Amino acid sequence: MQQPISENQAAIITLWYLVQHSLSTYYKLTDFFGHARNAITPANIAKWPLLKIHSSHIKRANKLNDAETQKILNLIFQSINTHCDFICTIDDDLYPTMLQPYNDKPPILFGQGNTALLNDPSIAIIGSRKSSKLGEKNSYDFSYYFAEKGYVVISGLAEGIDQAAHYGAVSHQKTIAVMATGIDITYPKHHDNLRRQILKNSGTIITEFLPQTKPLQFNFPRRNRLVSGMSISVVVIEAGLHSGSLGTAKIAAEQGKDVFATPGYIHDPLYEGCHELIREGATLIFHPEQVIEDSH
C-alpha cells in the first residue's frame, strides 16, 4: 500500500483527470498558473478559455465540484490507494531522472513494486508481438545477460518479444514493465501471471495513465516513449516493417538514444523492420555485450 496521497499529488491527479491525459494542456495550465493546485481553483478555471484550452476540458473543469465528478475522482483515488505501491510526480526524488529532460514527460507515474529500479541504468528490449520462437529466445537471452550484468530491462508487457524480455530479466530481479493502461488493468489479460512474477521478483510496474484507463490504440505510442526515455539504449530484437517497435526506435533516436537491432534471414518478413533500422543507422548486433560496449 502506498503512502496517503498528499494535497499536491491530489491536485495533480485531479488536473490530469480534467485534461484526460493531455500533456500539452496539462503543461500549458501548470506553466501559466504555477502548479496544478492553482490551475483547479474556481477563479482560475474561469480563466482557462483565455489560454485556448479545448472546450471539452473546460466543460469538465466547470463541473469539478459537481457530485458526479467528485464521485469519479473518489473512485480514482480509491483505486490508486488499492492498487498502487507508490506514485511519483516530477518533483519527487523517486521520479526517473532519465525522463526529466523531455518536454513530454508525464507529470505523474503510478506504480507497483520496487522503486529502486526507477533510477538504475536500464536497457529497453522491444520487438514484434507476433514473434518467432528464435526471436523470443534471443529476447530472453539478451535480457538475461543484461540483468546478470546489473542492467534493468525495460519493456512494454506485450506479447512476443516484450514477454520474453521480462521473463529473461525476472530471475535477476531487474525488470520494469511500462503499461498502456491504468494500474488496475493488465493488458493482455493473460499476462496477469507475468505481472505477478515481475512483482514477486522485485520488479516494477509503472503507468502514466489513471486507473480504469483501457488499452486504447493511441496509448501505446505514449507508453513506448517512456520505454525508450527511461533507457540508455534500445534494442530491437525482431520486428516486421509494420511493427510498432519501429515507432519506438524512431522516438529513441529523437531522444538521442543508441538504437541497436539484431539481423535475421534476408527473406524473413519478421526481420524486415530490423534490417530497415540498420539501413537507417541502427547498430547491428549479434551479442548483448556489444550493446554494453557501444552504449553512451
Digit-by-digit pLDDT tens for the chain (296 residues) are: 567 899 999 999 999 999 999 999 999 999 999 999 999 999 999 999 999 999 999 999 999 999 999 999 999 999 999 999 999 999 999 999 999 999 999 999 999 999 999 999 999 999 999 999 999 999 999 999 999 999 999 999 999 999 999 999 999 999 999 999 999 999 999 999 999 999 999 999 999 999 999 999 999 999 999 999 999 999 999 999 988 999 999 999 999 999 999 999 999 999 999 999 999 999 999 999 999 999 86
CA 19 to chain CA mean position, Å: 19
Enter the pTM of the model.
0.96
Q: Are residues 67 and 143 in the same domain?
A: no
Asked if the structure places residue 2 within a domain, the reply is no
Instruction: Give the separation between CA 242 and CA 236, rounded to whole angstroms.
Output: 13
Q: Are residues 73 and 171 in the same domain?
A: no
Asked if the structure places residue 124 within a domain, the reply is yes
Tally of structural domains, the chain: 2
Instruction: Give the separation between CA 205 and CA 111, rounded to whole angstroms.
Output: 5
Grid cell 537507417 in the structure block, residue: 280
Which domain-ending residue is among 62, 83, 104?
Answer: 83
Asked if the structure places residue 98 within a domain, the reply is no
Identify the domain containing residue 259 by its residue range. 112-294
Asked if the structure places residue 165 within a domain, the reply is yes
SS3 at position 154: strand
Q: Are residues 123 and 263 in the same domain?
A: yes
Which domain-ending residue is among 83, 100, 126?
Answer: 83
Q: Are residues 277 and 185 in the same domain?
A: yes
C-alpha to C-alpha distances, 259 to 20, 65, 98, 136, 241, nearest whole angstrom: 32, 47, 16, 19, 16
Asked if the structure places residue 271 within a domain, the reply is yes
Asked if the structure places residue 103 within a domain, the reply is no
Determine how many CB atoms are found less than 10 A away from the CB of residue 232: 17
Longest dimension (CA), the chain: 63
Q: Are residues 125 and 257 in the same domain?
A: yes
Instruction: Give the separation between CA 264 and CA 267, rounded to whole angstroms.
Output: 8
Q: Are residues 202 and 67 in the same domain?
A: no
CATH of the domain at 195: 3.40.50.450
Q: What would the grid cell of residue 141 be? A: 537471452
Asked if the structure places residue 178 within a domain, the reply is yes
Q: Are residues 47 and 145 in the same domain?
A: no
Determine how many CB atoms are found less than 10 A away from the CB of residue 49: 10
Q: Are residues 124 and 38 in the same domain?
A: no
SS3 at position 86: strand
Instruction: Give the separation between CA 156 and CA 205, rounded to whole angstroms.
Output: 10
Instruction: Give the separation between CA 115 and CA 225, rounded to whole angstroms.
Output: 20
